[in-house]
């Protein structure tokens, strides 16, 4: 019997927050379609803290909730509109903001509520379903979009690595590619190594733990692997800029027949030492967007990049200079086709009475609605189709248009 990544780790008893946010496995999928516009979807795995990325410094409650986490000018953040400031990790994107090619939607969330599991949250995010979809995920919303588009086919593809992007999985054939991590491991060993999360002093301990677990789970889980060599290869992979190769390859395909691309950026789980962890993840996101802009040239003007995450994080900081799994978060959008230079959404406030369950930023808009709005304007898909076949149960009422 072939086990999924999630079921394998759950049965092994080693499921942790770091697994779903692992920096080792990056997947990318592509599909070709007749429209001249391009859509890039980036899944930010781990639960991005939208309150730290797009900081509501104008809300007086914010400083009370996070007395030890730096924000605003003292953290190097850049003012956006007199109320929100942008984390310095994305400061290289400010020229895009000023040109109207960068925007954000705040206080957004999928319909996922209360359980705060990375895996379930990511499944529903990529499937585009409501809470009743947990355990019933079979395909993704980008694939369902392709199924209702005329004259769509799969171009010549690349397949390197094991996993695919759920958001593009489904009945419509698409091509798949992932960067070479230079790891010669068995499939099961690769799944175990998803445990490795932080690129810091904890790294060596995580590798050792992975091998201990492999040994405990049975013979053959880490067969013919030299731990020292593995550690060297893993470190080389983490420092090798694979996210840049992903972005360049995506741009290359988008310049040809590909019209829809999806890939993931991991490392957004910031339970502790949030400043360091978030900076690394934001750098990867910034690099990816800037590489897409540079490589696409004139095509950038026809491109929309949507970066979404499975859930936000708690409004209050925790005791380890981090934040825990929450609900409302933020969405990042970029591209020449974006109506940027603004933070979309109605701000719900951070007073205790305004927080969701007295702990999280309250969702003011379904993140699927923004994705649907972009698909409607980029590809001319009817609203009834978006609210039915593509995003079952979605209500697009009140969503802003984010495409020029």
Tens-place pLDDT, residues 24-49: 455 678 777 668 999 999 999 999 99
pLDDT of 264 strictly over 50: yes
Q: Residue 29: inside a domain, yes or no?
A: yes
Q: Residue 93: inside a domain, yes or no?
A: yes
Q: Residue 396: inside a domain, yes or no?
A: no
Nearest to 171 by CA among 209, 134, 143: 143
- Domain hosting 189: range is 5-390
Q: Which of 7-11, 182-186, 308-312 has the highest mean pLDDT?
A: 308-312
pLDDT of 340 strictly over 90: yes
Q: Read off the pLDDT of each residue in 305-328 and give the average, rounded to a whole number.
A: 97
SS3 for the chain, per residue? Answer: CCCCHHHHHHHHCCCCHHHHCCCCCCCEEEEECCCCCEEEEEEEECCCCHHHHEECCCCHHHHHHCCCCCCHHHHCCEECCCCCEECHHHHHHHHHHHHCCEEEEEEEECCCCCCCCHHHHHHHHHHCCCHHHCCCCCCCHHHHHHHCCCCCECCCCCCCCCCCCHHHCCCCCCEEECCCCCCCCCHHHHHHHHHCCCCCCCHHHHHHHHHHHHHHHCCCCCCCCCHHHHHHHHHHHHCCCHHHHHHHHHHHHHCCCEEEEEEEEECCCCCCCHHHHHHHHHHHHHHHHHHHHHHHHHHHHHEEEEEEECCCEECCCCCCCCCCECCCEEEEEECCCECCCCEECCCCCCCHHHCECCCECCCCEEHHHHHHHHHHHHHCCCHHHHHHHHCCCCCCCCCCCCEC
Q: Residue 399: inside a domain, yes or no?
A: no
* Percentage of the chain exceeding pLDDT 70: 74
Q: Residue 380: inside a domain, yes or no?
A: yes
Q: Residue 403: inside a domain, yes or no?
A: no
pLDDT of 15 strictly over 50: no
Number of domains in the chain: 1
pLDDT of 375 strictly over 60: yes
Q: Residue 264: inside a domain, yes or no?
A: yes
**Mean pLDDT lowest among 100-109, 163-172, 296-305:** 163-172
Q: Residue 398: inside a domain, yes or no?
A: no
What torsion do the CA atoms of 262, 124, 306, 163 make, to the nearest 10 degrees? -20
pLDDT, mean over the chain:
81
pLDDT of residue 243: 85
Let me know the angle formed at the C-alpha of 226 by 220 and 229, rounded to the nearest 5 degrees.
140
Which residues are CB-contacts of 161 (< 8 A; sequence separation ≥ 6)? 25, 27, 178, 179, 181
Of residues 30 and 267, the one with the higher pLDDT is 267
């Amino acid at each position: 019997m072939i086990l999924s990544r999630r079921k394998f780790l759950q049965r092994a008893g080693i499921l942790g927050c770091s697994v779903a946010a692992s920096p080792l496995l990056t997947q990318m999928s592509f599909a070709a379609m007749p429209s001249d516009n391009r859509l890039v979807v980036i899944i930010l795995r781990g639960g991005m803290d939208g309150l730290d990325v797009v900081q509501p410094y104008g809300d007086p409650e914010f400083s009370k909730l996070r007395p030890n986490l730096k924000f605003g000018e003292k953290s190097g953040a850049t003012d956006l509109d007199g109320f929100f400031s942008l984390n310095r990790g994305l400061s290289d994107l400010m020229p895009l903001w000023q040109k109207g090619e960068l925007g954000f939607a705040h206080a957004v969330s999928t319909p996922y509520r209360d359980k705060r599991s990375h895996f379930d949250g990511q499944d529903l995010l990529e499937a585009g379903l409501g809470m009743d979809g947990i355990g019933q995920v079979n395909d993704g919303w980008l694939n369902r979009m392709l199924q209702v588009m005329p004259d769509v086919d799969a171009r010549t593809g690349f397949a390197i690595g094991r996993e695919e992007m759920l958001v593009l999985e489904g009945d419509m054939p698409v091509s798949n590619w992932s960067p070479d991590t230079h790891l010669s491991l068995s499939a099961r060993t690769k799944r175990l190594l998803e445990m490795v999360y932080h690129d810091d002093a904890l790294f060596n301990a995580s590798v050792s733990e992975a091998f201990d677990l492999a040994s405990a789970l049975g013979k053959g889980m880490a067969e013919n692997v030299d731990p020292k060599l593995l550690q060297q290869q893993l470190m080389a992979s983490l420092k090798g800029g694979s996210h840049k190769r992903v972005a360049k390859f995506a741009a290359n395909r988008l310049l040809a027949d590909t019209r829809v691309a999806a890939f993931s950026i991991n490392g957004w789980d910031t339970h502790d030492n949030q400043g360091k962890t978030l900076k690394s993840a934001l750098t990867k996101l910034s690099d990816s967007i800037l590489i897409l802009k540079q490589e696409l040239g004139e095509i950038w003007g026809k491109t929309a990049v949507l970066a979404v995450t499975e859930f936000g994080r708690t409004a209050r900081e925790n005791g380890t200079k981090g934040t825990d799994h929450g609900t409302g978060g933020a969405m990042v959008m970029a591209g020449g086709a974006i109506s940027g230079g603004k933070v979309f959404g109605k701000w719900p406030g951070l007073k205790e009475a305004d927080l969701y369950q007295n702990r999280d930023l309250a969702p003011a808009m379904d993140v699927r609605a923004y994705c649907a709005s972009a698909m409607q304007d980029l590809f001319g898909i009817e609203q009834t189709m978006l609210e039915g076949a593509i995003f079952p149960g979605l209500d697009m009422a009140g969503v802003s248009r984010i495409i020029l």
